[in-house]
Structure 1
Amino acid sequence: MDLGLQGLNALVTGGTKGIGRAIAQTLAAEGTHVAICARNAGEVAQAVAELSGYGVKTFGRAVDVGDGPALKAWVKDAGDALGGVDIVVANVSALAIANDETGWQRGFEVDMMGTVRLVDAAMPRLERSPHAAIVTISSVSGREIDFAAGPYGAFKAAIVHYTQGLAHQLAPKHIRANTVSPGNTYFRGGVWDQIEQGNPALYAQALALNPTGRMGTPQEMANAVAFLASPAASFVTGSNLVVDGALTRGVQL
């Protein structure tokens, strides 16, 4: 199935590791020009070099998405470098689990406002695209109360609400907006790898909750994002695609 992504331009925040890296690679493999950002300049440079191997235009910069002016400047410069913006993927999370004021503030600035500012900065170019798509990354922690209740779960839930509002507001402009809510996703150096090493009891408990007997992979999450971002999903907007291996039990009506 041709997703129709070839020649489009995508911005992906947090594109050097885990789900974000897999999203950027999957889009590039489909022929999409890709711009990424992350906080570590060396990792950004390495990822950009690898993405360019797909024969697409690439752009990258070290950015903390909690820094509004820096994020806005990256969006402008990335759009200039690629020659436009058709797709934005808001992927970065502060992973704020601690239920204290610092955690709440960081989660708000990174997860919530990082998403809002990304979309706002990209909107003028999205409005000029015939295939404009916004994909936000939430989490199953935004659907159910789990160990991440507190800032992480609250802001992930808010991102779904915000994105579905965008879908309704932007539909007359033919700009689609959807969310992907990953379940537990394992990759080397990621949160669940760290938990497996540092808190094996919690890891075993989390693993036992999933009827598939395993956690998801970044590539499985990236596949969902690529579809929702693509012209193949031209009539899909306002959805929250849960990719969790039947982990969650709530019925999404």
Structure 2
Amino acid sequence: MDLQLNGKTALVTGGTRGIGRAIVEAFAAEGANVAFCARDAAEITATETALAGTGVKVEGAVLDVGDGDAVAAWVDAVAGRFGGLDAVVSNVSALAIDDSAESWEACLRVDLMGTVRLMQAAVPHVGRSESPSLVAISSVSGREVDFASGPYATVKSALIAYMAGLAFQLAGTGIRANTVSPGNTYHDGGVWQSMERNSPEMFASSMALNPTGRMGSAQEVADVVVFVSSPRASRMTGANVLADGALSRGIQF
């Protein structure tokens, strides 16, 4: 299936590791130009180098998505250099799970307000696209109670609600807004790899919850995100799309 992304421009926050890196690579593989951000300059350079031969423009920037002014300036600059924006993906997470004031503040600043400020900055630009799309990465932890309930899961729930509201508010403009909620996703340098080493009992119990007998890959999540962002998903807006291998048990009406 041609996702009709060739020549489009995608913007992704947190594009050097795990799901974010896979999303950047998947957009590039579909012929889209990609701008991404991260906090580590060396990882940004490595990502740009790895994708240098793809035939599309891939550009990274050092950015803290918790800095609203910096996010707005970056979005405007990318839209200017790339000639507009078509698809925007908010992927960055503070990954702060423990029930502390610091974790609550980090999740609210990075996960929630980072997404809100990104979307606010992007809307004027994607509004000029023929196929405008906004996507936020949430989590199955935002849909049902699990070990991550607390700041992380609460904010992931808020993201689903925020994007659904955005979809309703922007429906008349043609801008689509959706959420993708991954389940357990295993990748190099990720949370589950660390837990496998440092908390093997917790890792084993979490693995046992996966009916498929395995955790998902970053690529599997990225493929869903890129489809949802593409013109081929033109009727999809206001949705929370699960990419969890039947990990979650609730029925989504």
TM-score by length of 2: 0.98
Q: Distance in 1 between matches of 2:215 and 2:45?
A: 29
Aligned position for 2:54: 54
The one-letter amino acid of 1:45's match is T
The one-letter amino acid of 2:7's match is G
Aligned position for 1:21: 21
- The answer to whether structure 1 residue 243 and structure 2 residue 243 are counterparts is yes
The one-letter amino acid of 1:236's match is M
Mean CA deviation greater in 51-60 or 85-94: 51-60
Aligned position for 1:176: 176
Aligned position for 2:72: 72
SS in 1 for 2:51: helix
Q: Distance in 2 between matches of 1:172 and 1:48?
A: 36
Aligned position for 1:252: 252
Mapping of 1:3-152 within 5 angstroms? 3-152=3-152
The one-letter amino acid of 1:228's match is V
Compute the displacement of 1:202 (Å).
Answer: 0.3
Aligned position for 1:216: 216
Query: Is contact 1:107-1:152 (8 Å) kept?
Result: yes
The one-letter amino acid of 2:114's match is G
Mean CA deviation greater in 73-82 or 98-107: 73-82
The one-letter amino acid of 2:110's match is V
- Structure 1 unmatched runs, 5+: none
Q: After TM superposition, where is structure 1 displaced by more than 6 Å over at least 4 residues in a row? A: none
Deviations 1:131-152 (A, max 9, x none): 1000110000001111101000
Q: Distance in 2 between matches of 1:151 and 1:74?
A: 27
Deviations 1:195-253 (A, max 9, x none): 00000000000000111000000000001001100000011111111011111100011
Q: Distance in 1 between matches of 2:195 and 2:93?
A: 17
Mapping of 1:152-163 within 5 angstroms? 152-163=152-163
How many pairs were matched up?
Answer: 253
SS in 2 for 1:52: coil
Query: Is contact 1:60-1:78 (8 Å) kept?
Result: no
Compute the displacement of 1:32 (Å).
Answer: 0.3
Aligned position for 2:234: 234
What is the CA RMSD across the aligned residues, in angstroms?
0.7
The one-letter amino acid of 2:87's match is I
The one-letter amino acid of 1:31's match is G
SS in 2 for 1:96: coil
Q: Distance in 1 between matches of 2:196 and 2:78?
A: 37
Compute the displacement of 1:81 (Å).
Answer: 2.0
SS in 1 for 2:88: strand
Compute the displacement of 1:49 (Å).
Answer: 2.2
Compute the displacement of 1:160 (Å).
Answer: 0.3
Query: Is contact 1:58-1:82 (8 Å) kept?
Result: no
Query: Is contact 1:140-1:244 (8 Å) kept?
Result: yes
Change (3 A) 1:26 1:245: same
Deviations 1:27-53 (A, max 9, x none): 000000000000101111111222232
Q: Distance in 2 between matches of 1:173 and 1:22?
A: 29
SS in 2 for 1:89: strand
Percent identical among aligned pairs is 56
TM-score by length of 1: 0.98
Mean CA deviation greater in 61-70 or 74-83: 74-83
